[in-house]
Structure 1
Amino acid sequence: MKCTTFLAALVLLLGAGCFPKPASWPTQVEEQAAPAVTAPAPVATTTQAEPPSVPVKPTTTVKPKTPPAAPKPANGYVTIQGLTFGPQILAVNAGATVTWSNKDTVNHTVDSDAVRIFNSGNLSVGGSYSHTFNSPGTYTYHCSVHPSMTGTIVVR
């Protein structure tokens, strides 16, 4: 019996080499070394945190209203004629210029009664003299050639 068992085992062993390998048996694959790949060096970057996005509302520019320019003071005119100043009293706003025009047949002056506020000097026939009154007040004047000729400028 020993011999039969031995023979049976031998047949099985030898017979196993005659049959094809089952498909499920693993096959040996020759491994190849993969080529060396070098990764590019990382680039240093700086990131700044951005503030959260806030919707921007369109704005309307309101141009400040420019106050209207102050009206230019009306200038005043005094005529010298017939040995008188006309009008004898003239009212103007501060900043106004008063002009005296000699329409008479003789020379005259326009001199302030207060010392040296204004003085026309000699006004020949057809000549004129102007003075700007910047400060409110009452200004009296006369003709130094004809002292009876007087006038008043009232500045508001």
Structure 2
Amino acid sequence: MDKRCILILLILTVLIVAISGCIDDNAGPITSANQTIIKTSAVTPAVGFPVPEPLTVYVEIKGSMFNPLELKIVNGTTVKWTNADSVSYIVNVDDVQSPVLNKRNSWNHTFNKTGIFEYNSSNHPAMPHGRIIVEN
């Protein structure tokens, strides 16, 4: 090997040793101009049981229509009606009535039993009725 190659190898070795001595095991990410190195450690996952998150589905009221008109949901799901129309609505479902929903107002109802539930707007009787099918 010529002296120039030996000198380059020596400089690279010194740089590698110098850089490796500067790394703190408790430090965060190490960054350079071209890359970010993120140190990670192995984590043992905790043993547990899955907890289902509550589910919410949405119905928009616009143009004197419910959209969608029919929903299939699972027991425990919340349905949220939102008025996107300029007139007010009152939603009736499962023997429950919403307050008056003016533009941008919302109301929700959680279905905790299975079955088929028709819903409508009591202050717009000619408006097509919606249907919610609740399954297990």
Return the TM-score normalized by structure 2: 0.59
Q: Which amino acid aligns with 1:100?
A: W
Paired position in structure 1 for 2:101: 123
Name the CA distance, whole Å, in 2 between partners of 1:95 and 1:143. Answer: 23
Paired AA for residue 123 in structure 2: V
Instruction: Specify which of 118, 131, 134 is matched with residue 152 of structure 1.
Output: 131
Q: Establish whether residue 138 from structure 1 lines up as the match of residue 120 from structure 2.
A: no
Using the TM superposition, give the Cα deviation of residue 141 of structure 1 relative to its aligned residue in structure 2, in angstroms. Answer: 0.9
Question: What is the distance in 1 between the residues matched to 2:100 and 2:119?
Answer: 14
Tell which structure's C-alpha radius of gyration is larger.
1
Structure 2: any 5+ residue segments left out of the alignment?
1-46
Partner residue, 1:78: 59
Q: Which residue type is aligned with residue 135 of structure 1? A: K
**Which residue number in structure 2 is paired with residue 98 of structure 1?**
79
Q: Which runs of 4+ in 1 moved over 6 A?
A: none
Q: Which runs of 5+ in 1 are unaligned?
A: 1-64
Identity of aligned residues (%): 39
Q: 1:68 aligns with which of 23, 44, 50?
A: 50
Aligned length: 88
Between structures 1 and 2, the one with greater strand share: 2
Cα distance in structure 2, aligned partners of 1:75 and 1:93? 10
CA contact (8 A) 1:109 1:121 kept: yes
Q: How much has 1:74 moved relative to structure 2?
A: 2.5
